[in-house]
Structure formats: structure tokens, C-alpha cells
Amino acid sequence: MDMRGKTVLITGSTDGVGRYVATRLAAEGADVLIHGRDAARAKTLIDEIVKAGRAAPTFYQADLSSMAGARELAAAVIRDHKRLDVFVSNAGIGSQNDGPQRQESRDGYELRFAVNYLSGFLLVRLLLPLLKAAAPSRIVNVASLGQHPIDFDDVMITKGYSGSRAYAQSKLSQIMFTIDLAEELKGAGITVNALHPATYMNTTMVRAGGIAPMSTVEQGGAAILHLVEGDDVAARSGLFFNGMNEARANPQAYDADARRQLRALSLKLTGLSS
């Protein structure tokens, strides 16, 4: 895909792999919309892109740990733009951010489920009119090989909690949503794919977990960019990739009943249905 003039929103793009992808797409002439919580960090990215001779990206500050924050971000993008060619749902927190203990969002939801999955689910739903207006368009969900089946009797993991389980459940939820939404959008000209970009990239999230990086943001960024602009995936949807290669997710991702349960729960928790 020729990215010149394409409008691309990347959540979590003031640091890590999201920052790398934003920089690359700006260099290719895309109209890049960056998102994060830290305005100072965003300014350094904007300055870097402008210094390279490219148009300044637009920064949207939002806290995606609350559904209100996600709604505010969507409203701002809708206010400023009539179309969205690509949405990269990259914002997230790891298994150890602010400690391994169970934490809750402002809405009272388990924090990793809220940030890594629910906020992206809500954003996509709210931004669908812009994505449809730009068709052919693409949605890319940055997930993980770390996946844990959802216990629908205890989705918020009030029993037997661990940060790694919560993180892995949120990432499987992203993949289940990817498959579900791809089926819903058949014929609409919007592809939806998810990926594990690379294992333990040299990011703040990985270092916060006390893990020695095993790969680079450049490697992970290349995998994300493949789904954003690769011609070979232009008509492929509902897939999970490990890096550059198509892969199989946890079996629950392919359970239609489980996906229906997750969809109904997600619509309720995000306030899109009562």
C-alpha cells in the first residue's frame, strides 16, 4: 500500500514499538495520529519526525485505562477526521506494570483486561464509520503469543490472580475480537488481523517486567508494518500472525460460542449495550 496521504491512528505510539511504527509511517508520507498519556514524550517524537523533514503528527492525549478516556479519544479523532485508513491498536500494559498485584481500572474492571482489550474494542467500534469511509482500510491488533483462555465465570480474575495470566487473557481476547470482527465486516472492505510482533522486544514494558530483551523494536515494527501496508495481506482478514508468519492462536480463539460470550460481555462493559 502506498501510505502517502493515508490517515493512520496508532495507540500507544509515544514509546516502544508504536513509536517506531509511527516514525516509519510518517517517513512514508502518512498522516500519522499518535496517542499516549505523556505529552512530553509525544513532543520528542513530533520533534524527531519534523526534524527528518516530515509533517508533524497529530498528538491525542488519552488514558485508556478508562472507558471515558477511550470515548474521548474516539470523539477527538472523529471531530478532526472524516476517514481513517488504518487503526493500529497497540496501547497496553504488561504483566508487571506498577507491580504484579491485581489492579482495577476506574470502571472497576481488571486493569490489564481494560487497557489491553476493552479500550481497543471500544475504540474500534466507535471509529468504524471512519474506517468504512476509507475502505479499503485495515485494523491491526497488537497481541501476543502469551495467551490464556477466558474463564467466563471469573473474567476479572478475582481468584487465582497473576499478572501473567491477566496479560495473557487480555491478549487472547484481542485475537478473539479480531476473528469475530473480521467475520462481521466481510464485504465491507476492512481487514482485521492480529499479531505477536516479536518476543520480548527492548521496550519499557519488557524491562518493567525484569526481562532481558530478546528482540528489537525494529523487528516487531517490521511485523506490524507488514500488516499495515503489505500487499500480500490486503485481502486477508481474521488471522493471527507470529511476526511475519501466519500462526494458530489458543484454541479458544476458534470457539464461536466463546467469541459470542466475549462479544456480549464487551458490549455491556463498554456501555455499547445494556
Show which residues are catalytic: 167
Longest dimension (CA), the chain: 53
Strands of 190-196's sheet in order across: 58-61, 31-36, 7-10, 86-89, 137-142, 190-196, 239-242, 245-247
Amino acid at 62: A
Cell triple for 227: 500488516
**Phi, psi at residue 110, to the nearest 5°?**
-55, 130
Q: How far apart are CA 170 and CA 110, in angstroms?
A: 10
**C-beta neighbour count of 255 within 10 angstroms:** 16
C-alpha distance from residue 236 to each of 27, 61, 130, 177 (Å): 26, 32, 20, 16
Q: Is 33 left (phi over 0), alpha (psi -120 to 50) or beta?
A: beta
Size (the chain), residues? 274
